[in-house]
Amino acid sequence: MFGNQFRNNRCKNGLLSVTGMEKSIEISGNLIEKNAGDFIIQFAADSQSDILGDILANFTYNRITYNQHSSNIMRTAGYHQIFSYVLALKGVQKVNITDNIFDHNELDYELLAGLHTARIDNTINAQRNWWGSNDIKAIEDRIFDFDDWNVYALARYQPFLLEPDVAGPQSSTRPPRQMVDLNNLGGRINGFLTLPYRRTPYIVQRDITVMPGSTLVILPGVELEFYPSVGILVLGNLIAEGHWSAPIKMRPAAVKTPRFRMIRAVDTPSVRLCRDGSCSNREGYLEVFNKTLTQWVPVCDTRFTEVDAQVVCRELGYEVINVHQKRGRRYEYLWDSLLRIHTWAEPYQCTGKEPRLIDCPIRLDGEDRDYLQRECHWEDDFVFISCGERNLEEELGYWGGLRISVPNFEHEHIPPHLAKLANESIVQFVQISGAGYLHGEKSPALQSILRAPIIRNINVTACASDGVLLVSPHTAVPMLDNWISGNLGHGLNMLILNGESRDNDVSSFQPLKQSHLPVEAFGLLDACDPAKRIFIEERVMLYFRYKNTPSDCVKIFETKTGYRSIGFRLLQFSFVNDTDHENMTELDNIGLYNGDIYNLTSTVITRLMAKNLTKENIFWKSDLSSLSVRVHTTGGSNLHGFIAEILALPVASFDMDRDMRHNISYSYFHDNQLGAIRLSSAGEVSPAITMEWNRFESNGRHIWGNFSTTNAALHLDVSNMDELIFKHNLVQGNQGGLHIQADSSGAPMSLRARLYNNAFEKNEKFEALLLKGRQQSPSQQATFWHNVITRNQVPYCNVVEFDQIVVNATSNHFAQNTGYHIVHLHGFQGFRVPTYQAFIHNSFHYNNATDIINKGTLVVGNSGHLFRDNIFVDPMNDFEMIASNYTGAEVLRSPIDAVYNWWGYNTTVAVEGRIRDYKDREGLLEVKSQPYYENNMTVLSGLCDPGYTQVGDLCLIYIGVPVNFSQAKEFCKEERGSLPYLMAKHHQVSAFIRSRQEFYDEFRTKVWAQHLDLIGKCSTFVHNKVVTSSCNLLLPFICEADPKIYVDPLSWTEDFITIFSLATAGGGLLLVILCLAFWASKSRHRAAERLERRNSIRASRRSLAMSTASLSELGHARRNGMQQKLVSSAHRYSMSDNSSDSMEKSQAATSVIDDTQSYEIYETNNTFRDFDQTFENNQKTGELESYRYPQTPFDNISRTTSEYWDSTDQSRNISMNADTVRYKQVHSVGLPDPKSVEYGRAHLTTPSEPHYSTLRTIGPSDYSRIQGRPVPPLPSVYSSASSFGRGLDRSLDDTNVANSVRANSSDFLDQKEPLYSEERSVMTSFKAGSRVRSPLPLTLPPPPVVPQRVSAFPPLEPERPPTVASFISEPTRAKSPALSLRTRSQILLETDFEDQKVTHRGSTRSQVLETDIDALALNRVHAQTTPHLPDIGRMSVRSKSQPIETAM
């Protein structure tokens, strides 16, 4: 490109960009001025040619002036961000930049030396240019290179032009290095530099690079604040040793920056995230809008990556720092759900900077296929995206972190005896927060590659990536007393890549599947490093991470001596599997070539692809002195890639430290989204790992459904690791617990794992414990002793799973877990192991399996298992043990040994019902369960629950995990126990703890406990006593449960004294009961006799007083003659029924002698009789009015003057209203119509004509006219029975006139409404004679005829007088005309006297109900002026057949 002019162009991104494969470029003599954009010229080749070797590219003799950035670019001063630049070199190709004029450009930088590399000698030629100034400081500020971001190349800009003329003078040499500016830290540090303590923090605006051989010392109390995306790279030594009272603090600086994001939603987004029927969420299945068809189309692209997901979240207006991308089925889809979709989303290939998904380019993967072939099936896995929130304040930006690495690619071997003496960096009492984003990519907060720093007492929080990354430390790394929490990556990511010191054709290990290396791993050789030709001495580690764009990279390895061959061995391999796309021109692969690839005579050794898994553990060798490696990928997630070791052959003999042990103890890992610890190893020897007294809590985040950020809090994938110690650790509340996958080349290097005194509690979604071996190494072993597995909720996975691991599980406690199964043992199908898998003295207590078909506690998948002295009490499960199908050779088939266990039952049928084996289904293994324990006393400790041990009179369980005092109390409470109060037996408690905890020192080791003298304080048990301690200490504890005492209900039958005592007590109790019964019966009889005598005397007095005033002489004489006979009869009646009320006595004393005599009505102070006499007198004077109404529905009740009553000891009822007076005449008296009853009014009918009845209505004004003063209301009188009485008789003194009423009660039985009103009513019953006398002539004047009207007086305000309601049974109907009465079978008499309520029940036989109305209440009622009735006294109820005593 020569002699062109580019002027006045407004560009969206940039003016000129060169991308793709590296090219031969010559750009010279061009004028580029007055243009605007993010950049003006950019070289960004991302692939290397496999045809041409060194490809020249030149940018010379160009004039670039008066250009500016676009208006939409935010211009910010400082070195923390790159916003705009004139010329940039990115990617893999170097370009010579010489003899150019850069002048008056308003972009942030003139030159960006952005070639990614991991070497300090990577430079670009930028000499003889005019940079707009001849001041060196100004020129350095206009060039962005290694001194700003140490991942970039170093720009060699001297000599430079001293004036804007290519033919002008040039500078001679670079001036001497200036002193470090402590107020503006950044750049390279050579020599020794100390940062002393000061009150204000140090501000770091550029990357700090500690060069090889140099040392940076940071004193206690120093605070450093970093601009976003910059950090510290230590190629020498770092001594950052703080103090517990003055820690070193490294945190982000509070600067205004866009933080590499665009948090501004597009006006009309073309994407959405859908789940649960809603499409406005932070997470959900991705759908893309098709504007042409106006359809939302789901995405099932198998190569959709996290970079694409970041663009989706940016388009929706969410943060892009915490994005997770998953794949899964959409269970709401059916077979016909996607039939209407005809055009599917195109495969996008974003760079991560686009504002919208549709702005991303289409993926060019070299596959020749139509877009219609990319359709999704309804059962496919669809793209699921989670746009999580950031874990840092909005005003802060993430900084790069701290990196410690080697200065070059060569893996320097240090002998073990010298490695311990080597000077290493120290990071102690350092607080790191807000790190994890380096140079635009995620990076660990603390990273060490091929180094072994001392890391203790560090605090890493709120970081965007992993907390700590350790790659192949050459000696042991002590990770002690650390606090790592709240990070978006792993808490600790350790990658051990020791490789192999032999040149065997097959490696002694399997390559790892995942490595989780960052994109920038300084110290490892990137396969796409700009340098193609690499010279090695012994060993170099080569790595490659997938990008979202296609890549082709080439490396040519040669030895420095020039005659040694080269070997290639994979340590980790995970390529995208393209087996479903066979029509692609070339699948992703690693090509190995014998010799120089650019030499036509070179030959292909092999091609390693994802589908050729048999080649991944082969050690490949070249026949020549050089080996070429070509990597071809079409783009994918950065989790894919490979790590390999390149060795000069023959392999130099170097001694690996087989006694190396990494110690990760006394640390706290909390809320790390990708898990607490991920440890991976690949090599013939792996160092031992010890993890003790750690706390792993709430690691991993549940996203939605079955999607989580991780499946295990601790993930260990190790090979040839001979020992793993995992003791006294708390694994609580995580997404999955401890997952270990082990591999070994033989028995000497097989894993021996010891898991002691751990607690796995409240873990979710995935296995709480998973131990898994690989098929080629069946001899991995684990000892599982005194662990507590409780309250884990994993409904779709097994709580504990042992897969091809020989395990010895002893004295473990499985309680209150929910899982698909509780324990699953499998992995040895087809062969027999020499060592049995043993489960001894474990307790399974109240666990719940979710497998609907085989709901069992244990699933045993093969023979060779031993179960002894175990306790199975899981009533929610159908089976305690389930045997699987046997698939091995028949000769190796043997039963599962499960004798001498307690299955919760003591009968053979019940025990067999708790086991599912070949007896239930053919083909299953046999479980030998007999003999079994018939009770649990043999397997339990004393009287304690399963899992507890009896210590004296206490039931204790030791929980050997570090918790504070309040957490210990809560744990015991959830275990249905308590933190014990240790008042005595301290030596026994010490012995118990010593039996559970290794290296227990009773004089120093503290255990949480309580004491009654220290209530309300935090106390510990130490030195055989309980003392107060700090509540924040992390200590083990013991829990106490109440002893479960078993009492045999029939044990008393064996004791003669007990039997005699019980018999004596029973006889005495029976005697007392009999005496009490006799006494109660006698007392009741005596009370009845007293009541009878009292009522008889009272009735006699009333009858004598009334007789003298109302009886005729004949009646009086007859009564006197028969008095003695009647009394005798009444006495015999009362003696037979044992009870009698007052009215019975009155009736017996005053009744007539026989049926031939006339009837009498006996009343004591009968107010109604007196009032009737007054009423008759007033009626004769004409003061009362009569009204004539039409005949009522009760016309079937006829009244005639020629009829008398025939009442033989029958009951009569009259219902009266409170302010109504009965009209007493010789002619018949009618009964009230219940439908016409009004307040204060009752209607009495007189059938003087065939179709009319006369109603006599008496109101209060009538009383006033009669007596001249107001009259109080009287109780209304209505019948409360379902039928009327058989007769009603009122005796008028010394007259032969009687009122007879005959009622046909059969008509009244059909009435649906009650015949009485509950409003202010009282029932009064009168006793009539026993025989009807001969009819007498009756002469009565006809009633006056007046016009009909409804009422003469307005109704009164309703009051609440006393009420009595009675149901009267039907007697035998008399032959003479009478008013019949029918009642129901049950009689209820309810009396309400001024809020006092008495309820009486009588028999179904004929009864007599009498009301004894006190004279003080109703005598002379017309003279009373008060509107309410006083207490109307007592009511007595008597039945001839069953007398009933009524208590008032």
Dist CA 417 CA 739 (whole Å): 34
CB 950 within 8 A of CB 941: yes
Place of tokens 């663009």: 311
Dist CA 664 CA 689 (whole Å): 8
Query: 915-916 and 871-873 as β-strands: parallel, antiparallel, unpaired?
Result: unpaired
Task: Calculate the alpha carbon distances from 1003 to 404, 1021, 1022 in Å.
Answer: 42, 10, 6
So what's the pLDDT on residue 1301? 35
So what's the pLDDT on residue 462? 95
Q: Provide the token pair at 1281.
A: 């029975």
Q: Provide the token pair at 6.
A: 């580019």
Dist CA 331 CA 318 (whole Å): 27
Q: How many Å is the maximal CA-CA distance in the chain? A: 168
CB 30 within 8 A of CB 5: yes
So what's the pLDDT on residue 486? 95
Q: Provide the token pair at 308.
A: 């694409």
CB 1348 within 8 A of CB 1255: no
DSSP 367: B
Going through 34-75 in order, the beta strands assigned E by DSSP cover 39-47, 57-60, 63-65
Dist CA 962 CA 691 (whole Å): 13
Query: 813-815 and 843-845 as β-strands: parallel, antiparallel, unpaired?
Result: parallel
Dist CA 1154 CA 1143 (whole Å): 19
Dist CA 474 CA 239 (whole Å): 19
Dist CA 942 CA 934 (whole Å): 16
CB 385 within 8 A of CB 286: yes
Dist CA 947 CA 940 (whole Å): 8
Place of tokens 């915490």: 322
Which residues, given as ranges, of the chain have pLDDT below 50? 72-80, 258-265, 368-372, 891, 1045-1047, 1110-1119, 1121-1171, 1175, 1180-1341, 1343-1448
CA angle 236, 237, 239 (to 5 degrees): 160
Query: How are strands ordered across the β-sheet holding 1187-1190?
Result: 1187-1190, 1252-1255, 1245-1246
CB 1297 within 8 A of CB 1203: no
Q: Which of 612, 562, 556 is nearest to 588 (CA)?
A: 612
CB 271 within 8 A of CB 281: no
Going through 116-256 in order, the beta strands assigned E by DSSP cover 123-125, 143-144, 154-156, 185-189, 192-195, 202-210, 215-218, 223-226, 231-234, 237-241, 248-252
Dist CA 158 CA 136 (whole Å): 10
CB 663 within 8 A of CB 690: yes
Peptide bond into 650 cis (omega under 30): yes
Going through 1056-1182 in order, the beta strands assigned E by DSSP cover none
Sequence-separated (6 or more) residues with CB below 8 Å from residue 757: 727, 728, 785, 786, 787, 958, 960, 961, 996, 997, 1036
CB 445 within 8 A of CB 467: yes
Place of tokens 């039928």: 1283
Q: Helices 1142-1150 and 1056-1110, interaxial angle, to 10°?
A: 40
Dist CA 565 CA 561 (whole Å): 10
1422 alpha carbon, distance to own chain's centre: 80
Q: What is the 3-state secondary structure (H, E, C) of 1189-1230?
A: EECCCCCCCCCCCCCCCCCCCCEEEEECCCCCCCCCCCCCCC
Going through 1102-1150 in order, the beta strands assigned E by DSSP cover none
CA angle 1175, 1180, 1185 (to 5 degrees): 75
CB 805 within 8 A of CB 835: no
User: pTM (2 decimals)?
Assistant: 0.73
Q: What is the 3-state secondary structure (H, E, C) of 527-556?
A: CCCCCCEEEECCEEEEEEECCCCCEEEEEE
CA angle 837, 841, 843 (to 5 degrees): 105
Contacts 24+ apart (CB under 8 A), 1429-1433: 1429/1218, 1429/1272, 1429/1273, 1429/1275, 1429/1361, 1429/1362, 1431/1393, 1431/1394, 1432/1322, 1432/1362, 1432/1393
Instruction: List residues bridging with 662 in a β-sheet.
Output: 689
CB 1174 within 8 A of CB 1271: no
CB 727 within 8 A of CB 689: no
Instruction: List residues bridging with 430 in a β-sheet.
Output: 248, 458
Three-state SS for 749? helix
Q: Per residue in 980-1023, pLDDT tens?
A: 998 888 889 999 999 888 888 888 889 999 999 998 899 999 98
Task: Calculate the alpha carbon distances from 492 to 445, 516, 670, 696, 754 in Å.
Answer: 10, 11, 11, 12, 21
Q: Per residue in 362-398, pLDDT tens?
A: 887 655 444 445 678 888 899 999 999 999 988 889 9
Peptide bond into 946 cis (omega under 30): no
Dist CA 1174 CA 262 (whole Å): 108
